[in-house]
Structure 1
């Protein structure tokens, strides 16, 4: 049986990975982190997306939720409320430099915990929505980091020392956001509850980097955002 675990934030990219994984693997687990981030709405929405995915795909998903307090480290607008989230930046500004929404070594921490969870459940395929295009320049989303971490898992685990091989899958790594959306739709992805906004309000702000990149992606894909369609159908304003 082919098993995989998806690092699942509930955002657009990890939702795409989830639907892809459900087509590619026999048994799919997810791990969602509550890391004392700026808001918890993405976790609530992640649970709804998991329910939708099970209904659409007709397959059981095995979810895991993990609590860790990265606010103790701070240094990021996502874990320290005293640091403002950047707003209304141009695409050129978003793509230059590393913004204050970078959480120090977050993906390294998440991968370490996911690797331990994967070893515990004998899952040797780890999937994440890391992306090197249409993103905010985070160094722990780059290919060299992810390949080196894959090697670290195989060197630093009991399973690896016994000849079992962990693979970190990066299906979205070299896709633009529009390509990710089209790819997701080919795998029946439903983005109605996929949450991207850094502000944490039910109606996205439309001004933070994540909202801007998401809107750009849907516009270039020529597809209406499922999330906004849902809000409109539910009678929310300002969408």
Structure 2
């Protein structure tokens, strides 16, 4: 049973990864989290992840991935690059090439060191913003490749893969942590915790999903 096993959550302190963390805490006997420092635009993301891990009394690993910043300049790592949505088939400026490939590969190495079989990530093909490394086919392919490369049987879990933002908020509510996720997490590209700046693409997606969920929930108010 999964309740007898250990898991690693790829953790940014955002809405999706925090919801996945609470899902993992309900699903597995033991849970640890790993956050990656790739010189992202806002160090507050790392601090937010640290605070949540401390509050939940969870072992927190912080890995240095600075090389990713050097190899893949983008709006999440460079303040001089404007945050824009993808247009005419192009990827958004916030896409970091190879990020999930690298993060999940290193998460598997860490999982091997701490004797964890399960790896959880908050990627979603429903609200994936055009990111190719959030697709189900990629995750399944990488899972096979990681297992072959390390001769182990890791399982990569994607609790949000087929959920849109409204359904992700519902999952948080079902886990009795909706207020915690709303108030404590950092999704905003401008580094504003909670409801964020309200203007960046990440905030708009998060806000629209929350409003839809609260409207659909009987007696809900934004």
Using the size of structure 2 for normalisation, the TM-score is 0.87
What SS class does the counterpart of residue 182 from structure 1 fall into?
A: helix
Q: Is 2:183 aligned against 1:195? A: no
Within the alignment, does 1:221 sit opposite 2:216 as a pair? no
Shift of 1:49: 2.0
Q: Greater RCO between the two (CA within 8 Å, min separation 6)?
A: 1
1:69-112: CA deviations, max 9, x gaps?
A: 122113311112221112xx6xxx78964201001110001011
Is the 8 Å Cα contact of residues 53 and 59 (structure 2) preserved in structure 1? no
Q: CA deviation at 1:214?
A: 0.3
Secondary structure of 1:222's match? helix
User: Is 1:36 matched with 2:39?
Assistant: yes
What is the aligned partner in structure 1 of residue 162 from structure 2?
174
Q: Deviations over 1:43-66 (max 9, x none)?
A: 1111222234x2xxxxx4221111
Q: CA RMSD in A?
A: 1.9
Contact 1:30 1:61 in 2 (8 A): yes
- What does 1:14-163 correspond to in 2, within 5 Å? 14-52=17-55, 54=56, 60-69=57-66, 70-86=68-84, 97-157=90-150, 160=151
Q: TM-score, normalised by structure 1?
A: 0.81
Contact 1:176–1:217 (Cα < 8 Å) also in 2: yes
Q: What is the CA–CA distance in structure 1 between the aligned matches of 2:52 and 2:89, rounded to whole Å? A: 32
Which secondary structure state, in structure 2, belongs to the residue aligned with residue 31 of structure 1? Answer: strand
Structure 2's unaligned 5+ residue stretches are 216-222
Distance 1:34 1:120 in 2: 19
Identify unmatched segments of 5+ residues in structure 1: 55-59, 224-239
